[in-house]
Amino acid sequence: MSSSKTIDPLTLSIIEGRLNAQNQELGFRLFRQCFSFATAHIRDIGTALFDRDERTITIGNWMPVHTAGSDVCLKGMLDYIGRENIYEDDFIVGNDPFIVKFGHAPDFSFIRPVFYDGELVFYHFMRTHQYDAGGAYQGCYYPRTYDCHGEGIMIPPVKLIKRGEINEEVFSVILRNIRGSSMVRADCLLTYASMKMSENRLLELIKSYGKETVLEACNEIVNRTENTVRKVISNWPAGTYYAERAADWDGTVDKPVWVRLALTVKPEEGQLIFDFRESDYQVDFINCPQGQTKAAVVTAVAWSLPPRTPRNQGLMNCLTILTREGSVLDPVYPATSGAQAPTLGTHVVECVQVALGQVVPKDTSALWARHINPILTGRRRDIIDPRTKSPQLYWTAPFHADGSMGAIYGYDGWDGLCWVLGAGGSLRAPIEPEEWETPYRWLRHEFIKDSAGDGKWRGGMGVHWEVINTYDRKVWQAHDCVVMTGNSDGEKFGALGLLGGTEGKKHRLGIIRKGKRVRLRCNDVQYVQPGDIIWSKSGGGGGVGDPLDRDVERVRWDVINEYLSVKKAREVYGVLFKKGTFFEVDLKATAELRKRLKAKKAETKRSRKK
Amino acid sequence: MYEIVVDTGGTFTDAILIDDERRISMAKFPTHHEKPSMGIMGCIQRFSEQRGCSPKQLLENANTMVIGTTLPTNTIVEKKGAKCCLLYTKGFRDIPELGRRIPKDEIYNLKLPPPESFIPRYLRFPIEERIQFNGKVITPLKKRDVIKAIRKAKEHGVEVPIVCFLHSYINPEHEEIAGEIIRKEYPNVVLSSHILRRWMEWDRLSTAMIAGSVKPVVQRFIENLDEELKKNNFKGITLFTTCIGGVASPQLCLDNPALLIGSGPASGPLLGRFLAKLCNFNNVIVVDMGGTTFDISMLPNATIGVTPEMRVGDFINAIESVDVTSIGAGGGSIAWIDDRNILQVGPMSAGADPGPACYRKGGINPTVTDADTVLGYIPSDFFLGGTIPLDVDLAIKAIESKIAKPLNLDVVTAAHAISALVEDNMAQGIFLSAVERGLDPRDFTLVAGGGAGPVHATAIASRLGINQIYIPKQASVFCALGASLANYEYVLNLCIYRNEAQLNIEELRGWFNSLEEEGLLTLSRQGLTKENIRLARGAEMRYFGQLRDIVIFLPETRSGEPFTEDTLKALIREFHEKHQAIYGWSDPRMAVAISTLKLRAIGVRRPVELIQQPPSLKDPSGAFKRTRKVYFKELGGFVDTPCYDSNLLRSGNLIEGPAIVEDPTTTVVIPKGASLTVDSYNNYLIRRS
């Protein structure tokens, strides 16, 4: 491996450590103080640092949905503003899906150029989900708007702060078009302050090591990462691998929407080519712009690489991503894209996982349960907001309904770790504060027996979630209580297994009103009445390997703990228990049953081939 | 009379003995993991040898025994806790996994096994009951469910049942009724609302679970110790140090063992605060560098911070704990090279066994201690006073093969890179701690302890632009010294979650009075009287609409001072100021919300004073021991460096760097450009120019 001639090993280690720390610091500053539910409780954050050549140098360990791929937004935003118009202490914001190409309306992307001695050295980047961005409802997760204008305010890249001066005219136009403007204003300004504070560390780093050394270190970090990744890929089998995954529907027309991938692995070059050009034409609501697509690809690839591989430009140089203009993965004006991350963004990850599952099956996980996360929003006319003197708004998307992670060779899926693009960087919200804030009481939040995909290693569990509306019937009006499921998908498609592992259960959800079922599906909006029960039963992650090979002790443990029924243990895992014992495995009978079931499986396989 | 303070660590039990003349003796004895009282009695044996009496005579003359122990913390981290079961609100069986509030450690490593929950699902029993957020009972408790659960617990050989119901922090009635029933079979039942009165179900459950799982261990420890002490005629009082840096009676710790979890590093900051006041340092950073971890605490205005989110292994102790950040850096930290040929140090540690390569216990990985030995910072013939001879050749071999060769460096440069990188990691840790709290480390004095702390303290300080470093002579028994200063201390909470407009003085006064009553009761039960009691009111506050709180405490007062309009104003003012300090902005026009009222109840033990030595000469030559080759990069490599014997140094002695102070329990490295003064307490003040 080549070593830099000009930079010593100690300096390189120190500089990389500090750049990474700076990225973490920025996120910590923000989620502790912000007003946005998504940022504070779910950690719906992305941070990145680019060098002046717009290469990704470091990415913070925040929600994967927001991280890699921000170079697409940086370029789009700089193209729009003009690189010649960038000055010290500028603070640029944007969310226009056709320029920024990443995030739905509430995801504001922020850039600050970092100057040293009057010279541009870095671009500092941050994206967070704001309290609101206008549109029909708070949070953008409602389908069926006519076009992108219905999804909220579209902000083309603009300097919210110009050379340190707040651009109040622009700010006032933005704030007038959104709810909770004082909170969004505060969050924007504290993003600015937090970025600025953490940039001081960059400046000090440059001061103590010199600009050239720091930039040289960045070069070295990127190059070494690229070499390492290419070396890994050089051991992967050459070929083209196909995958296709679909969303249930786009909320408008009731038919599946497909993402299609042809992955070409070129070991001799150490390059991966992701060709998504066969994906469907753009539809409504669930379209996924290029930046989001890239984030999904990089995340899924990173998971099949050695765990500590940095997600910087070096990794990205090894990936070629092709999309077709006007398709669901590169939508054009005036397409809507409110559900981009939880729907097609997720299915991009799924396609990459299915494809890599053919390339490196032992280093790729089975699919995760898709995102399902009914949002509860509305106004509480029982509480007057001290700031606006009008009824207090509430909005929550607690991530409670989500299923879990898929299994990976050697490991069961992690129970409760939700949604592939949150991946444990995001968390489920605590129930007790939710009940203080919203007019709902939680009835249930538990794993569901037999919901996971089966395998030698099983998927993580699906989750049963139920809440009851407690709004005062006497004063209730339709808009006081709204449920939106525009961030949910997976009633028609479960999480696929791998290497003989099976699929997790499909999601189900609904409303019970006065004892009767009322339909609530994914990508939907409904008014909720006092006494209504909203419920969901998510599926679990996919399994890996043949369930008949699962360690009988693990099967027993799952049965004891009611993750698995006795029936399924017998039928799928071929495990039998002795009557009158505390689930003592009948080893002899189990061996015989497993043998029989395997023979039967082989028989079915043969007949299918014929 | 004597006061004996013991710090039961993972490897060694450290102890100090303070007599009426305020003389301090030190002792060290290996920790016995099964029976920690043996380590304590071992130290007492040492003291009695030092004082020329029998252990019985020594203990007869002791009036107080303060015990700090990492035993419960280690039980959690090593997953060796008791078999517990959980009685939960029906419908919420999986809060241990689903409610988890610690993000995944490595998002991009899918092969990371999930955190283990103490209580497997088959030992979680549903109880029909429900209390609303405002305390109203929605579904009454079904006692039959409790009886059924206990029967199952017995069948499965459960040792400790834990009860955690939703919203029990606001209305503990159901937990208490369940507790009544369970106590008949299990007197040691743990109720979450008795462990702490805070919202956020997982935090409360996590704390109750760790409390429950260490309860039997704590009980055995206390009983054993009690027996040993009684046998040896000890008639004084025994106290345990707690996670908030206080002391509490054994009974209270048994009732709430979570008080002990994380108490280990909590005592260091007490010493830092004491020294800050003694030496008139305004702001101090306290660091303690041991074998595996580097503990950092920031004390602006000599004030110790508290946090309700102390991480312990895979869990959180949500009881207010001294705000200490631990990073994986210590003498045992292993140096390694990643896939990209980039040098890394830690967080993995060689621990005490096999330990660093130079220990000759079979360790083959190069550690920070190995690098320090190669560079001459740690004298290979005088480690722990020469009791553990270090093998420099083994250290060289490990660094050579694992680091120097792959990086194409010579051994010494590689050793320096290891030592310097761990210093930078520690400096970064301090820096992040500081900026997260809105502080600038350059305004601070660095107080360094732990066996390895004084070796690296000055280098760390220089990386942070800190000009003053203070090292107590007893640096290696840092926490034991700190524990001798602890007062009785508790924090009581009451969740109210209201915005400014909804607050009313009468109601607030009533709530604070009830907290005060409870605080006074807890203290008086331990024999404290009103004149020794101080109270500090506080709150967890946020701007209305924010989702996280800042903890505010008002200055201490005596009990009985009424809560007035002004007290509320002071709380709000304090909140704006602290928000400004931490996040760089505040807006007094914005409405404030209070989520939790807090009362800190303090029982003052007795003032501590140190003996002052008469001043001696500047010239340290009386303590000169020898000259050794020691590596200093800024001097171009190894230079002949004078070494001084710590026990012969006298108040007023001034040593110019480069120099080394050799102490039986630690080594102080003084680089060029720094000078060390021995102060009147025989401690070391280092200044960088």
> Would you tell me which residues 89-108 of chain B have a C-beta closer than 8 angstroms to some C-beta of chain A?
91-95, 97-101, 103-104, 106-108
Q: Which of A417, A29, A36, A372 is nearest to B100 (CA)?
A: A417
Residues ≥6 apart with Cβ < 8 Å to A119: A211
- Residue B93, min C-alpha distance to chain A (Å): 6
pLDDT above 90: residue A390 = no
Facing A18 at nearest CB: one of B98, B121, B428:
B428
CA atoms within 13 A on the CB side of B522: 27
pLDDT at A5: 57
pLDDT at A3: 47
Q: Which of B597, B646, B651 is nearest to B625 (CA)?
A: B646
- pLDDT tens readout for residues A260-315: 999 999 999 999 999 999 999 999 999 999 999 999 999 999 999 998 898 999 99
Tell me how far apart the alpha carbons of residues A214 and A227 are, in angstroms, rounded to a whole number.
20
Which residue in chain A is spatially nearest to B156 when comparing CA positions? A582
Mean predicted confidence (pLDDT) in B114-133 = 94
Which residue in chain A is spatially nearest to B404 when comparing CA positions? A9
> Would you tell me which residues 537-566 of chain B have a C-beta closer than 8 angstroms to some C-beta of chain A?
543-548
At A303 the three-state DSSP class reads helix
Which residue in chain A is spatially nearest to B104 when comparing CA positions? A424
Indicate the residue type of A604.
T
- pTM higher than 0.90: yes
Q: Which two tokens stand for residue B567?
A: 């007290």
Would you call B499 an interface residue with chain A, using a CB distance cutoff of 8 Å?
Answer: yes
Of the given ranges (B29-33, B95-99, B392-396), which has the lowest mean pLDDT?
B29-33
Element (H, E) at A111: strand A107-116
Mean predicted confidence (pLDDT) in A487-513 = 97
- pLDDT tens readout for residues B622-645: 999 999 999 999 999 999 999 999
pLDDT above 70: residue A39 = yes
> Would you tell me which residues 442-461 of chain A have a C-beta closer than 8 angstroms to some C-beta of chain B?
442-447
More confidently predicted of B182 and A59: B182
Which residue in chain A is spatially nearest to B587 when comparing CA positions? A186
A vs B, Cβ pairs < 8 A, gives 220
More confidently predicted of B446 and B117: B446
pLDDT above 50: residue B551 = yes
Q: Which two tokens stand for residue B446?
A: 């660095």
pLDDT at B157: 97
Q: Could you write out the three-class secondary structure of A382-442?
A: EEECCCCCCEEEEEECCCCCCCCCCCECCECCCCCCCCCCCCCCCCCCCHHHHHHHCCEEE
Chain A partners of B501 at a C-beta cutoff of 8 Å?
384, 386
- pLDDT tens readout for residues A531-555: 999 999 999 999 999 999 999 999 9
Would you call B583 an interface residue with chain A, using a CB distance cutoff of 8 Å?
Answer: yes
Mean predicted confidence (pLDDT) in A190-211 = 90
Pairwise CB contact (< 8 Å): B497 & A436: yes
Beta partners for residue B495, in sequence order: B596
pLDDT at B271: 93
Pairwise CB contact (< 8 Å): A307 & B497: no
Q: Which of B95, B110, B122 would you mutate first to test chain A, the one with the most A CBs within 10 A?
A: B110
Pairwise CB contact (< 8 Å): B341 & A3: yes
> Would you tell me which residues 315-374 of chain A have a C-beta closer than 8 angstroms to some C-beta of chain B?
365
Q: Which two tokens stand for residue B122?
A: 């088959």
Per cent of chain A over pLDDT 70 is 99
Banded model confidence at residue A1, pLDDT cuts 50, 70, 90: very low
> Would you tell me which residues 380-399 of chain B have a C-beta closer than 8 angstroms to some C-beta of chain A?
none
Q: Which two tokens stand for residue B507?
A: 């109601």
Facing A428 at nearest CB: one of B98, B107, B114:
B98
Of the given ranges (A200-209, A338-347, B244-253), which has the lowest mean pLDDT?
A200-209
Would you call A40 an interface residue with chain B, using a CB distance cutoff of 8 Å?
Answer: yes
Mean predicted confidence (pLDDT) in A362-374 = 97
Q: Which of B93, B101, B107 would you mutate first to test chain A, the one with the most A CBs within 10 A?
A: B107
> Would you tell me which residues 433-472 of chain B have a C-beta closer than 8 angstroms to some C-beta of chain A?
435-436
pLDDT at A72: 93
Maximum distance among all Cα pairs of chain A, rounded to whole angstroms? 80
Chain A partners of B203 at a C-beta cutoff of 8 Å?
430
Tell me how far apart the alpha carbons of residues A440 and A535 are, in angstroms, rounded to a whole number.
12
Pairwise CB contact (< 8 Å): A562 & B344: no
pLDDT above 90: residue B79 = no
pLDDT at B264: 82
Would you call B199 an interface residue with chain A, using a CB distance cutoff of 8 Å?
Answer: yes
Facing B409 at nearest CB: one of A9, A423, A463:
A9
Per cent of chain B over pLDDT 70 is 100
Pairwise CB contact (< 8 Å): B585 & A228: no
Would you call A440 an interface residue with chain B, using a CB distance cutoff of 8 Å?
Answer: no
> Would you tell me which residues 270-299 of chain A have a C-beta closer than 8 angstroms to some C-beta of chain B?
none
pLDDT at B172: 97
